[in-house]
Amino acid sequence: MAAVVFTALVAVFTVPDLLFGLDERSPFAQLVSFRPWVLAGVVALLVLLLVVMVFERRVLPFVAGVLVVLLVGCGVMLPRVVPDPVPTTGTPFTVLAFNTLEGGSDVQQLAALIDQQRPDVVALSEAGVPYSDKLAPLVAPLGYHLHTSIGPRRRDVGGVTAVVSDRLGDVHVRIGNETSSFPYVELSGAGLGGMRVVAFHSVAPVPGSVPEWRSDLALLKQWCAGPTPAIVAGDFNATLDHSVLRNAISGCEDAAAQRGAGLVPTWGPTPRSRDLLGPQIDHVIANDGIAAETFEVHDIAGSDHRAILTRLRLPH
């Protein structure tokens, strides 16, 4: 009985997303973001139990329980590090997503990345009119125009901006205000045809904001389960370890996971902590057979996020 209770306790902290949706509540909503490091702790615990078992065979049930939890946790993450076959057909479509950290990131570096990679759409979180006004004159000569989800009197932190290549023509822009804090930008028509491209930002699951986080992520269903092709990019403030996100994007594929890069960190309060411990909370997802050919991360000064760049293939 003691081994069962011990195993259950380890499972609660390791795979709460598989236990009655515990990860939809604090503190598990925050803890599950760092599952790779939690699993490292489980490995250390297993090694300790194995050492003890050399002298005391009665700990065998504890070893078995911890081993099962470890295998289940690794099994959940495994699909994200095994790349899918690289798509070789279809129309290329490049998406860049980046959180500017309240408009404080280096606008020159962002413009240089856009110049180098020439994405079709850029999804910027925490970028309102002040940041857009700085970026627009740098990318307009490159053939881009901008659409921002909030008015000029609001600070950058509340805004989402879509930077759109002129190659796509006069796209239709819809601002979605269903989110709790950050209105999104939905693009359709013109060169996008029947496809929709969305620049999206969810609130973070900090204590006190978890219900709003759940409701924000639930909005992703309208595109992933919708009848039309869709690409959604931005800061989701959730990893694929969150059952809330997995359920919301059922019908979509995550670009990083498709390329076996589903554990590459995209956020951290400092560059060092991001590289060592950071979760992947920035995503590009797509439905309708749209597949990722490449996935990259790029560092831009002034932000606690990395920019993510993916080259997709749109089915003919």
pLDDT 10s digits, 38-48: 999 999 999 99
Q: Mean pLDDT over residues 143-162, rounded? A: 96
Percentage of the chain with pLDDT > 90?
89
Q: Which domains does the chain have, with CATH numbers?
A: 2-80 (no CATH), 91-314 (3.60.10.10)
Q: What is the pLDDT of residue 206?
A: 92
C-alpha triplet 110, 221, 132: angle, nearest 5°? 25
Q: What is the pLDDT of residues 73-105, one digit of tens each?
A: 999 999 999 999 999 899 999 999 999 999 999
pLDDT-derived band at 1, boundaries 50, 70, 90? confident
pLDDT-derived band at 271, boundaries 50, 70, 90? confident
Q: What is the pLDDT of residue 31?
A: 92
Strand 307-314 relative to strand 91-99: parallel, antiparallel, unpaired? antiparallel
pLDDT-derived band at 53, boundaries 50, 70, 90? confident
pTM: 0.95
* CB burial readout 232-254, b (16+ within 10 A) else e: bbbbbbbbbbbbbbbbbbebbbb
The answer to whether residue 182 scores a pLDDT higher than 80 is: yes
The answer to whether residue 216 scores a pLDDT higher than 90 is: yes
